[in-house]
Amino acid sequence: MYLHLQKVKYLLATVLTAYIAWGAIQLNSVVYDLIVNIDDTNVVQDFNPQGGLTYYEPLVFTTTTAGDFEFNNYSSKLTNGVTDTSLLIYDNLDANLIIDEPWAFNDGAGIGFGGGQENTFQSFERESQAFQGTITLAGDSTYTAVFASFTPNTMGTMAVRVNAPGQVISTQFTAPIPEMSDTGLIIALIIGGFVAFCYFKVRSEL
């Protein structure tokens, strides 16, 4: 029986350490789900070499923590089923959006420049994929994110998930998903379940 107790004790200590480390990571990150509406409110003419109009939606936000921010356009409902979307980030609030070169740009997984990304962007050679990338931002800084498709005359909605290392402040953000308290509750339930499992395991060995 003593041997079984020792095995369970070491296993419990290992699992608890792993869950505490995982919990620390989760509690220090915040996930935001955004529905971005692209309509005729913001539009640029005579910019795209392919012609037509470029519609976009800006989002001004302020970081509270420096680190890696993951931006993922995981779903879209755009004109004619377009899937080609782009993310532009400006660190100059006076920039002429779309027209001016952004500080960072992402055109899909592994395609972009700035913000810690490898410079792999090849002008307007279009990639039929949604933006997805990790961009390193400074703490306590204000940026403008611009969501757009450079397929001419494209409007509609984008579902965008932002995984941030800390809270992001913006009047256009809704509550973070999941809430931090929810994450802590999930961790507590997992640990509690494992402790209960160990208890009954020991009882069965007696």
- Could you tell me the pTM of the whole model? 0.73
Distance of CA 89 to the CA centre of its chain: 14
Higher pLDDT, 89 or 12: 89
Distances (CA, A) of 49 to 57, 102, 124, 126: 20, 18, 8, 11
C-alpha to C-alpha distance for 172 and 169, rounded to whole angstroms: 9
Question: Which pLDDT tens digit goes with each residue over 93-130?
Answer: 999 999 999 999 999 998 999 999 998 877 655 567 99
Q: What is the DSSP string of 49-69?
A: TT-SEEEEEEEEEEESS-EEE
Residues with Cβ within 8 Å of residue 56, at least 6 apart in sequence: 38, 42, 43, 44, 97, 98, 146, 147, 148
**Are the C-beta atoms of 112 and 89 separated by less than 8 Å?**
no
Q: Output DSSP code: residue 117.
A: B
If you search the block for the tokens 């995982």, which residue do you land on? Answer: 22
Question: Which pLDDT tens digit goes with each residue over 131-143?
Answer: 999 999 999 999 9
Judge whether residue 61 has pLDDT over 60.
yes
- The vertex-34 CA angle with 134 and 57, nearest 5°, equals 85
Both tokens assigned to 87:
């993310």
Distances (CA, A) of 2 to 6, 7, 47, 94, 113: 6, 9, 75, 70, 59
Weakest mean pLDDT among 19-28, 61-70, 77-86: 19-28
Specify the amino acid at residue 199.
Y
Specify the amino acid at residue 98.
I
